[in-house]
Amino acid sequence: MSAGPQVSRRAALGMLAGGVVAGAGASRLGFQSSSGGDLGGIASERGLDGQQAAAALETYVPGGSYDEYFVFASGGHSGQIFVFGVPSMRLLKVIPVFTPDAWQGYGYGTDQGNAVLEGGSDPAKSNPLRWGDTHHPALSETEGSYDGRWIYINDRANGRIAMADLRDFKCKQIFDIPNLQTSHGGCFVTPNSEYVHISTMTPTPVTESGYAPLSRYKEDFRGFSTWLKLDPETGRFDLGNSFQIELPPYTQDLADAGKLTSFGFGFINSYNTEMAVGGDMTGGQPLEAGSTANDYDFLHIIDWQKAEEVFKAGNTKDLNGMKVIPMDVAVSEKILHFAPEPRNPHGIDVNPTGDYMCVGGKLDPHASVYDIELIKTAIANEDYQGTDPFGVPILTLESVLVAQVELGAGPLHTQFDDKGYAYTSLFVDSAIAKWSLGPKAGHTDDGFKLVETLPVQYNIGHLCTAEGDTVSPDGNYMIALNKWSIDRFPPVGTLHPQNFQLVDLTTTPLTVLSDTPIGMGEPHYTQMIKADKLVHTIEVYPPGTDPMNFAPSEFAIKAGEERIERQGKDLHVYMSAMRSHYTPDQIQAKVGDTLHLHITNVEQTIDATHGFAIPQYNIEASLDPGEVVNIDMLLDRAGTFAMYCSEFCSALHLEMQGWIEVAPQGVTPSVG
């Protein structure tokens, strides 16, 4: 992909020639822009004050110009990934992952979509899964920076993980992780994409049948920290080199990878160390009360390099197809340590230098900051304040905690800029706290200190800064992911959109630049990557490509090689698609035949995508230029069906159609 013209907001503001600054009144807009537009007149006509007019200019990206960043947002229940441009906040793409998508022909009969969806849907488990709750996207990294190659995302609902390739923005693999029923926030990529990590949320019974009574929660349920090895060439899960670490049956929640000074570690928050299981109808404590009784839960500190050694040495047990490092081995090999964290924490975020682990209190107004140097020393000295009921050593809190910063009500997640500031979402306060991050982030004088609080609208969950999970954030943009929008948009029925608010990090105080309604699913987390890092993106497949592996397809044809071959009840049709016809455009078959369509889009023109739909048969394919798609279908219904191109590809798009005769029993098809 070409880098393309990019409009930075600095350049956009430069267009104002110093006439307007954020906060200026509309009266100060009274000047002519270079192209002759009366900016002040437009602003007053539209009732915009100076700050609003400046925000509009800061976020405007002219048609034909490109955004500076891409945001990859989880789509929640939609099972998708949304791709927005920043600063425009224009929606650029939806990547279907766990849920079928008709436009992209994903899950409606084609080999690629079906293989991906079925591969991630354990046939032993009731119905094939056709939805997921995408939560935490994790971009691949090289040396702690996003490298624009792949993206991973977990399924909160079903404990699965998926990989999409950023060459074609398509999902290539879904894996249903053994021993994980659900997974919330435990998804991250290590700094050189060695592993993608995913952990359990609710613990899973580890009995043979998968059943255990809740009275045996402590004995029979376990959590798991999963380390899926990534193939350095393809980004796919290398399951033979992947392993899990057995954990106590706490609720393992958010997680993050160590980087630089903390490279080699992974951190997972937990709650419900009480191991409450509810029982509010039978005299027990409601789950909510039972799981918030303890003053402290446990930050899990995992040394994944040590775990890798133990796995390679074969010191594991087999559990449902995974190699698992047992908990006692994780303890004796010093793979797993705990540190106390104030009760029911939520986010854990490692700062760009890798020195500080910032934990959001959720039920505590503080962010707690741990120092990796202190953690390493405490581990080396076995500076323990005790062990948990499973024998996991607990590091002495005072030895590893460097600061507790009072931020406000309901601190959840923290992101970072390039100046040593942290930004923490305050769910209860509907605000973002900006605070300085101590000496190792360059704040030797001010230390750990609240700087300002920015109100947002409303109920912020996650937030995301530009390149915010890397070793070098950009410090210009931030997005607040608000769970509620209330009065920010006109009513659209009883379910309101969620709201992404774009924030300018360069102003003091911080400013909200725009609101973007998200009318599909509930986005959870996002990552923002510099657009010019997506250097691997292609716009056209090489002729005859199988998009599953980017290699030539054995079913590819060139124009002129079209043919129909019958082998008993199997009818193979090698078809080409190009503007504005299919060849062949007639297929004659009989009820009971299996039709194998091998369709090649023989075009090499950008955007010359064709569709392929067959009525009544639930078939819908999308054929991008150069792509080969295979469709196998049992013809179980007689009829004469009009197949058609479902993508408006050309002036004669409506003529791009054909026929499939499916003759009933006893009737000989006209040909074939």
Query: With respect to ligand RUQ, which residue has the nearer C-beta, 112 or 270?
Result: 270
Closest CB 650 distance from ligand CUA, rounded Å: 6
Name the phi and psi angles at 162, rounded to 5: -130, 155
Distance (Å, whole) CA 654 – CA 665 = 32
Matching residue, tokens 């912020």: 460
Contacts of 568 (CB under 8 A, 6+ apart): none
Nearest to 175 by CA among 133, 212, 228: 228
Read out DSSP for 70-108?
EEEEE-BTT-EEEEEEETT--EEEEEESSS-BTTTTBSS
Site string for ligand RUQ, 483-522 (x = CB under 6 A): ----------------------------------------
Touching ligand RUQ, residues 457-476 (CB under 6 A) = 461-462
Nearest to 356 by CA among 284, 410, 289, 299: 299
- Of the chain, the end-to-end C-alpha distance in Å amounts to 45
Nearest to 577 by CA among 606, 608, 554: 608
Query: With respect to ligand CUA, which residue has the nearer C-beta, 21 or 654?
Result: 654
The amino acid present at 122, given as its one-letter code, is: D
Closest CB 22 distance from ligand RUQ, rounded Å: 29
Buried/exposed code over 142-180 (b: 16+ C-beta within 10 A; e: otherwise): eebbbbbbbbbbbbbbbbbbbbbbbbbbbbbbbbbbbbb
- Contacted by 645, from ligand RUQ, ligand CUA, none: CB < 5 to 8 Å by type: ligand CUA
- Contacted by 325, from ligand RUQ, ligand CUA, none: CB < 5 to 8 Å by type: none
The secondary structure element, H or E, covering residue 59 is: helix 50-59
Closest CB 603 distance from ligand CUA, rounded Å: 9
Q: Which of 190, 647, 661, 662 binds ligand CUA (CB under 6 A)?
A: 647
Q: Which of 649, 660, 662, 663 binds ligand CUA (CB under 6 A)?
A: 649
Point out which span in 294-302, 323-331, 419-427, 642-650 binds ligand CUA (CB under 6 A): 642-650
- Looking at residue 28, the DSSP 8-state letter turns out to be G
CA 431 to each of CA 73, 409, 500, 521, 533: distance values in angstroms, whole numbers, following the listed order? 20, 9, 13, 22, 31
Contacts of 281 (CB under 8 A, 6+ apart): none
Q: Does 629 bind ligand CUA (CB under 6 A)?
A: no
Touching ligand CUA, residues 564-603 (CB under 6 A) = 580
Closest CB 647 distance from ligand CUA, rounded Å: 5
Query: With respect to ligand CUA, which residue has the nearer C-beta, 235 or 658?
Result: 658
Closest CB 360 distance from ligand RUQ, rounded Å: 8
Closest CB 136 distance from ligand RUQ, rounded Å: 6
Q: Does 656 bind ligand CUA (CB under 6 A)?
A: yes
Q: Does 375 bind ligand CUA (CB under 6 A)?
A: no
- Altogether, the residues listed in the chain come to a count of 672
Q: Which of 610, 622, 627, 661 binds ligand CUA (CB under 6 A)?
A: 610
Site string for ligand RUQ, 376-415 (x = CB under 6 A): ------------------------------------xx--
- Contacted by 530, from ligand CUA, ligand RUQ, none: CB < 5 to 8 Å by type: none
Distance (Å, whole) CA 290 – CA 105 = 46
Nearest to 351 by CA among 286, 421, 400, 265: 421
Q: Does 524 bind ligand RUQ (CB under 6 A)?
A: yes
CB of 356 within 8 A of CB of 369? yes
Site string for ligand RUQ, 211-230 (x = CB under 6 A): --------------------
Q: Which of 333, 653, 669, 672 binds ligand CUA (CB under 6 A)?
A: 653
Q: What is the three-class DSSP state of 399?
A: helix
Name the phi and psi angles at 561, rounded to 5: -100, 10
HSE-up of residue 511 (Cα within 13 Å, Cβ side) = 18
Query: With respect to ligand CUA, which residue has the nearer C-beta, 267 or 582?
Result: 582
Query: With respect to ligand RUQ, which residue has the nearer C-beta, 461 or 473?
Result: 461
Point out which span in 19-27, 514-522, 588-596, 649-657 binds ligand CUA (CB under 6 A): 649-657
Point out which span in 14-22, 257-265, 584-592, 648-656 binds ligand CUA (CB under 6 A): 648-656
Q: Does 464 bind ligand CUA (CB under 6 A)?
A: no
- Could you list the residues that contact ligand CUA (CB under 6 A)? 580, 610, 645, 647-649, 653, 656
- Could you list the residues that contact ligand RUQ (CB under 6 A)? 135-136, 184-185, 254, 346, 412-413, 461-462, 524-525
